[in-house]
Amino acid sequence: PATVESTSEKAKELEKPVGEALAEQSPQLVARPPPPFPQRLQKLRDNAAYKKFLYIQINIPLVDILQEVPKYAKYIKDIVANKRRLT
């Protein structure tokens, strides 16, 4: 009796239109709730961006920059003057 039922079920499945069969086979997408602590994920993304930033190299002479931006000159002068305190 089990074989008769299984063959009749197979026959019913074959009679269904193709669209319905594909709809039944496709997995249902479940909405995921937002993470409880999104800051943790943000830190991972920031670390990846920071690693890319570390590989950037700019070849501009320091003297040219100091002439164009006087604030940098003052900042560098303060760092050099306080060098012994920083190290």
Where are the chain's structural domains? 2-86
Q: Both tokens of residue 7?
A: 């063959």
Q: Tell me which DSSP letter residue 82 carries.
A: T
- Top-confidence residue, 8 or 31: 31
Residue with tokens 């086979």: 25
- Top-confidence residue, 73 or 7: 73
Can you give the pLDDT at residue 18?
Answer: 54
**What's this model's pTM, rounded to 2 decimal places?**
0.26
Q: DSSP 3-state assignment of 12? A: helix
Q: Both tokens of residue 78?
A: 């303060």
Can you give the pLDDT at residue 48?
Answer: 78
Q: Both tokens of residue 43?
A: 């830190």
Q: What does the mean pLDDT of the chain come to?
A: 69
User: Does residue 22 register a pLDDT over 70?
Assistant: no
- Region 59-77: mean pLDDT is 76
